[in-house]
């Protein structure tokens, strides 16, 4: 573990921000280009994870453990969100026999 | 140092595969790999508690939930809805603009400080537990209510309503 944490010492904070923003924008693109509701959910998970990683990086950078506690709360929230969201998707599938989100445009008008 | 860049490349590569894979089951399996690389990032930052929680909650619980739902829904490649190429192009341009905005705003940072781990037991369970149960006791208890209500809501939504069917 000592050697592993020694490895990190030369990486600038900018590279962490860059990595996390790239993963976050991949998640945004995934939400926009897919019509399958489950894949859209997975893209949202991707965005949540990139934010978690960035919070941890800043927490290590500042030497403040509060950021890691916050990540713990975000993980609990994501678990709750996925449980409710997937239940909604199952219900939609039962009613419309499809998980294409373009079928669900009745709320539009 | 090169470990970080290798793992970062892997996480970007697999997250691109997540959104481009045709079969939703393959997307979920690539998502497992993305979460695994993110766990390795946590270990590299010596955030051991978060690495374990990420491993158990994301890779264990959430991904299994996704797979089960996919099996319940019984999708196949033919029923996979597709978007037109114009919409895809617009989406990629939109996401790229978002990325460029963030990168351009990073220019204000100039040369940034390296991420240094000053306190070696920052991310250990002992240290985090002390903070969690002293300063953040109330949010911790509130999150238990959130999880309970999510469980009740999921059961309520997913069970069949006898009146409507």
ipTM: 0.87
Alpha carbon separation from A42 to A63, B34, B72, B111 (Å, rounded): 31, 11, 17, 34
Size of interface A-B (CB pairs under 8 A): 253
Name every chain A residue with its beta carbon within 8 A of the beta carbon of B71: none
Q: Which of A25, A61, A82 sits opposite B65 (nearest CB)?
A: A82
At A4 the pLDDT is 55
Q: Residue B114 phi/psi, 5° resolution?
A: -70, 155
Q: What angle do CA A103, A105, A109 make, to 5 degrees?
A: 160
What would the pLDDT profile of B105-149 be if each residue is shown by its tens digit? 888 776 667 777 777 778 788 888 898 899 999 999 999 999 999
Q: End-to-end CA distance of chain B: give it in Å, rounded.
A: 59
pLDDT surpassing 60 at residue A101:
yes
Whether residue B88 and residue A33 make contact (CB cut-off 8 A), yes or no, is yes
pTM for the whole structure: 0.88
Interchain pair B53, A43: CB under 8 A: no
Residue A109's SS3 state is coil
The verdict on A96 touching B (C-beta cutoff 8 Å) is: no
């Amino acid at each position: 573990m000592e050697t592993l944490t020694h490895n990190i010492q030369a990486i600038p904070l900018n590279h962490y921000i860059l990595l996390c923003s790239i993963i976050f924008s991949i998640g945004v693109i995934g939400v926009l280009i897919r019509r399958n509701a489950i894949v859209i959910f997975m893209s949202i998970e991707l965005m949540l994870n990139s934010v978690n990683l960035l919070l941890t990086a800043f927490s290590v950078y500042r030497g403040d453990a509060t950021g890691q506690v916050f990540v713990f709360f975000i993980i609990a929230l994501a678990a709750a969100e996925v449980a409710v969201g997937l239940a909604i998707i199952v219900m939609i599938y039962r009613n419309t026999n499809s998980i294409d989100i373009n079928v669900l445009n009745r709320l539009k008008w | 140092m090169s470990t970080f860049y290798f793992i970062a490349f892997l996480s970007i590569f697999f997250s691109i595969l997540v959104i481009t894979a045709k079969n939703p089951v393959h997307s979920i399996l690539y998502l497992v790999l993305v979460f695994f690389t993110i766990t390795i990032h946590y270990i590299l930052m010596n955030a051991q508690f978060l690495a374990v929680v990420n491993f158990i909650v994301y890779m264990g619980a959430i991904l299994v939930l996704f797979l089960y739902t996919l099996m319940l829904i019984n999708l196949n490649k033919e029923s996979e809805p597709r978007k037109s190429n114009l919409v895809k192009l617009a989406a990629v341009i939109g996401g790229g603009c978002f990325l460029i905005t963030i990168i351009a705003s990073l220019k204000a940072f100039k040369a940034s400080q390296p991420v240094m781990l000053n306190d070696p037991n920052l991310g250990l369970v002992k240290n985090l537990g002390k903070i969690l149960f002293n300063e953040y006791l109330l949010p911790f208890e509130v999150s238990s209510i959130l999880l309970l209500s999510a469980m009740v809501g999921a059961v309520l939504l997913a069970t069949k309503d006898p009146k409507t069917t």
